[in-house]
Amino acid sequence: MAASKKAVLGPLVGAVDQGTSSTRFLVFNSRTAELLSQYQVEIKQEFPREGWVEQDPKEILHSVYEGIEKTCEKLGQLNIGISNIKAIGVSNQRETTVVWDKITGEPLYNAVVWLDLRTQSTVESLSKRIPGNNNFVKSKTGLPLSTYFSAVKLRWLLDNVRKVQKAVEEKRALFGTIDSWLIWSLTGGVNGGVHCTDVTNASRTMLFNIHSLEWDKQLCEFFGIPMEILPHVRSSSEIYGLMKAGALEGVPISGCLGDQSAALVGQMCFQIGQAKNTYGTGCFLLCNTGHKCVFSDHGLLTTVAYKLGRDKPVYYALEGSVAIAGAVIRWLRDNLGIIKTSEEIEKLAKEVGTSYGCYFVPAFSGLYAPYWEPSARGIICGLTQFTNKCHIAFAALEAVCFQTREILDAMNRDCGIPLSHLQVDGGMTSNKILMQLQADILYIPVVKPLMPETTALGAAMAAGAAEGVDVWSLEPEDLSAVTMERFEPQINAEESEIRYSTWKKAVMKSMGWVTTQSPESGDPSVFCSLPLGFFIVSSMAMLIGARYISGIP
């Protein structure tokens, strides 16, 4: 009798959205793209040394299982039968590197997160081996040699972790980005788990030839990576394997996209020249360039956008990557303690409505696009005795917008046709002050979908459209219309330009803070890489303390 009461909604599709800060599982109606239910689990980040960022792969996997179980429970409370879930897609933080033992199923080290800086000296030594007139790494991968990408993280693990070295020698090691680790584990792990990745994630490793769509022998030899530990590369939309445990046992996993590619699909940017900007831990602007690899002259990356089926064509994108966006809010909460929840930032910023000349460059992991400057570190400048936590909160939001302006300017120069508006998504877009600031600083309208979970939606679309699943049509006439909220610029262009030019002065001051000693080489780098803001605040504190001790009012 209970089964007869279940709501009939047609085929549903689930999506794992595994990000840097949290894991979510979401369920969509494949006919309407309506979000029916979701559950979120926050993920810990570990900082064992200055510049190092790690996560526990097992915690990430457990968070996926928890998200699935809790979402299925919520669907039951809504009288929606989970038997309607016909497929699962996976979207993931890219570049983050995991090596595990295929015999025991155990990770051999923590996941080295994309933000991690420990490999700076590795990057410097490798860069000396690239001929000045033949940057074969960039021409094959579309990427600059940087701590950001997986190859150098994997090289560090091979050089420094004995358990990894031994497993490679004994042919027990498997490498993957987070998607590979999850799919292998969810499809059986040691009992026949599928070791694969998709073209979008592979294109972020610096080991993948984006023209031939294969692991590249020359690149693997250059980085010293044994090819046998690499996952099999598949399209972004096909059946990889079946769930082997949990509430959705037997459901096919049939979609896989790196998070920014998933957001591009979820925003339905299927035409050349369409672009989206996602505000998460970092900030990522992608522009669809079609079947053609467009190489940037202004610090952007060339990357694989998606390949939605084994026999479907590959699409490419230009990408502007900003390391720190939402992470700056988490830093204000967890490190400085000026807010208790991330949502409080909007309230603080609203109290003052201005940074009062305070500028915040959150270069905690160096500067990504368009500078690619690893020596930069975070600074807060323009402080006066009038500055308070509200002004710093406002400056933090402005920093996200200024960084977006920099990569949008680079995108416009590379593409030749300026964007008339910016499509946005991601958790931070719920902050209305941020969205209005973004429109003011770009001086073009900012447009966001009322359903902001476009990353998960993109993964669900890829999974539902896969051959053998076929419950989600990606034909233009079948795609659901999306309701949008629009933010128009409210300041004059001259004021926008003045604020932007002052920001660029602050960016210049953030560079060169790290000496040639890298975080790999020991504790002295901790002092060398302390941000300018530290010295400003410390100097002010010492001055105030001295006045207090001496009795000066």
- Each domain of the chain, given as residue ranges in start order, spans 12-258
What is the arithmetic mean of pLDDT over 63-80? Answer: 94
pLDDT digits (tens, 9 = 90+) for 2-54: 444 555 577 999 999 999 989 999 999 988 888 999 999 999 999 999 889 99
pLDDT attached to residue 462: 96
Residues 382 and 358: beta-carbon distance below 8 Å = yes
What whole-number percentage of the chain has pLDDT above 90? 55
**Predicted confidence (pLDDT) at residue 238 exceeds the cutoff of 60:** yes
Mind listing the pLDDT tens digit for each residue in 491-508?
A: 887 888 888 889 899 999
Q: Which residue has the higher pLDDT, 318 or 354?
A: 318
Q: Distance between CA atoms of 106 and 189, rounded to whole angstroms?
A: 10
Kindly tell me the burial class for residue 336, based on how many C-beta atoms sit within 10 Å of its own C-beta (0-12, 13-18, 19 or more).
exposed
Q: Is the pLDDT of residue 65 over 90?
A: yes
Q: What percent of the chain has pLDDT over 70?
A: 91
Closest CA to 251 of 242, 263, 259, 260: 242
pLDDT at 526: 36
Average pLDDT over residues 54-70: 96
- In terms of DSSP H, where are the helices of 101-224? 120-127, 136-141, 150-160, 162-169, 178-186, 199-202, 217-223
Closest CA to 180 of 163, 164, 165, 200: 200
Q: Which one, of 52, 59, 158, 160, lies nearest residue 112 by Cα?
A: 52
Nearest-angstrom CA–CA distance, 433 and 28: 29
The string of pLDDT tens digits covering residues 365-415 is: 888 888 888 888 999 999 999 999 899 999 999 999 999 999 888 888 887
pLDDT at residue 548 greater than cutoff 70: no
Question: Per-residue confidence at 323, pLDDT binned at 50, 70, 90?
Answer: confident
Among 181-195, 270-284, 419-433, 522-536, name the one with the lowest average pLDDT: 522-536
Domain 12-258 homologous superfamily, CATH:
ATPase, nucleotide binding domain (3.30.420.40)
178: its two tokens: 């987070």
Position 539 scores a pLDDT of 39
**Least confident residue range of 168-182, 220-234, 439-453:** 439-453
